[in-house]
Structure 1
Amino acid sequence: MNNVISHRFKLVKLNGKILNYKVSRKQASFVYTENDRTKLEVIAIAASLAGMGGQAISVASNANSTEEDADYVEFSLDGKIIKGWLWYSPFHEGDEVKVAAEWQSDHYEVFGVARPSDQTISLYPHCSRAKTRHIKNAFKWWLITAVMLQVVISIVFLTIGLDAFIDGWKYMTTGGAWWLPLGLTVFCAIAIISMARQWMPFAKVAEKVFSVLELPNPHNIDLVKSSKNKNLPQDSPEFGSMYFRY
């Protein structure tokens, strides 16, 4: 089943009590289309050539299987029929909620559900950060990756010996191998930018949901961060990664 997201829609806010609640765990493709499989295979080849064997295997695996698990929910809210995908639904019959949804021909398609009583929120799969926070998170991981690359290169030289460490860095900074650390850093930057662009539609949808649900400072929300240390006894293991607290 293909449910690759588009952020071109109009959301409305609905309020009420969940009735006739049904939830089923199913599989669908939320990130990749069939055309993306070729791109994934190319990335896998590039990773393999760069010596990133584990990453290459992971990407190749994703190229063959692009479907993921998520909850398909159906319920009524003040007489309105609500259907759609949530990454994980922690809600129950009778919960008082507010919903961000788009009207279809015969029902409202849900993109986010919030339960104000305990500030629990669940969104369409992979929606967890607003655009600004998404970009900041991508930059953070590029910086971490760039630093780790330099550390790994240094460790490799140190295992050979201190002289090799000094000579190696001299050769890379003033000799003919200056392109090696720079090239690896640029490669990582390109990979992370590509991934950030792939996930940007989800950030745009998340920000729309935050705005429609009237959450504070919707343009700067990071649900992964806001959920830290907010576990409740009834929370399932999916809390903090597939559903959150705002």
Structure 2
Amino acid sequence: MDHPAPAGLVKLSGKISNYTVTSESASFFFTRSDQTKLGLIAIAASLAEMGGQAMSVASNASAMEEEADYVRCDIDGMKVSGWLWRSPFKDGDIVDAAVEWRTDHYELLGMARPADRTVALYPHCSRSMVPHVKNAIKWWLYVSLFFDVGMLVLMSSVDEVTLEQAWASFFDEDFRWFMLGMHVVIAIATHDMTRRWAPFAKVAEKVFSTLGLPNPKSTDLVKSSKGRHQPNDSMEYGVMYFRY
């Protein structure tokens, strides 16, 4: 499928009418053909390289397709359509939409309902670049720590030594280089994943800016949505649509 380019985004504001939404399957990962539109590095990671974010596409891994909502509506009489990860909107909502003009309609990349600060974006767009990098560093530290603890437990159980003795062996010359090498491997893998998912973060940042969200360069919708669940929210809240 063709992916909308983030360049030339504008904000439409008004009331939704003639709203329809259908759940359909498509591939939302940026391919090489999309680079001419986005000017960004393509995402073509295999499922094994995607870490936690791959869970959302696990059910369609072989086809690299996943389900999202295709939205069609009018905003104050202007035709709008496009993909949102999940759409919690309805007829009569007063919204702001980040869109780009096509031949006969506006292509939708994000929509916000200021009344309750609900927002939904193109699939996998939830963080701008700064929190995207911070999140990657956090997971690098977590994985590195998990690896270190795992090695300590393994060595103490196999060699029948105390944890203190196993820890001391980390500083032996040969083993020290092994551990350093493993941490470099983890860092390289984390950097590669961060780079591959960067296009979504860059698109998200442009949408945040277009919608006029506070601090668009530092917006993390996953974080800002925590603790703000409302009774009418579906299970997808905080994962596929958010609050800012």
Smaller-chain TM-score bracket: 0.7 to 0.9
CA-based RMSD: 2.7
Q: Distance in 1 between matches of 2:193 and 2:91?
A: 37
Deviation at 1:145, TM superposition (A): 0.9
Q: Where does residue 174 of structure 1 map in the other structure?
A: 172
Q: 8 Å contact 1:3–1:29 — kept in the other structure?
A: no
Q: Where does residue 237 of structure 1 map in the other structure?
A: 235
Matching of residue 85 in structure 1 with residue 83 in structure 2: yes
Stretches of structure 2 that go unaligned for 5 or more consecutive residues are: 34-41, 50-56
Deviation at 1:205, TM superposition (A): 0.9
Deviations 1:150-185 (A, max 9, x none): 011011122235536555544442232323222221
Deviations 1:93-139 (A, max 9, x none): 11110000011111100000000110000000011111111111111
Provide the aligned length of Structure 1 versus Structure 2.
230
Deviations 1:37-61 (A, max 9, x none): 99639x67xxxxxxxxxxxxxx999
Q: Distance in 1 between matches of 2:131 and 2:44?
A: 29
Q: Where does residue 216 of structure 1 map in the other structure?
A: 214
The alignment partner of 2:171 has SS state of helix
The alignment partner of 2:234 has SS state of coil
Q: Where does residue 53 of structure 1 map in the other structure?
A: none
The alignment partner of 1:146 has SS state of helix
Q: 8 Å contact 1:87–1:125 — kept in the other structure?
A: yes
CA gap 1:79/1:4 in 2 versus in 1, 3 angstroms: closer
Q: Where does residue 196 of structure 1 map in the other structure?
A: 194
Normalization by structure 2: what TM-score?
0.85
Normalization by structure 1: what TM-score?
0.84
Q: Where does residue 65 of structure 2 map in the other structure?
A: 67
CA gap 1:204/1:34 in 2 versus in 1, 3 angstroms: closer
Q: Where does residue 40 of structure 1 map in the other structure?
A: 46
CA gap 1:157/1:126 in 2 versus in 1, 3 angstroms: same
Stretches of structure 1 that go unaligned for 5 or more consecutive residues are: 45-58
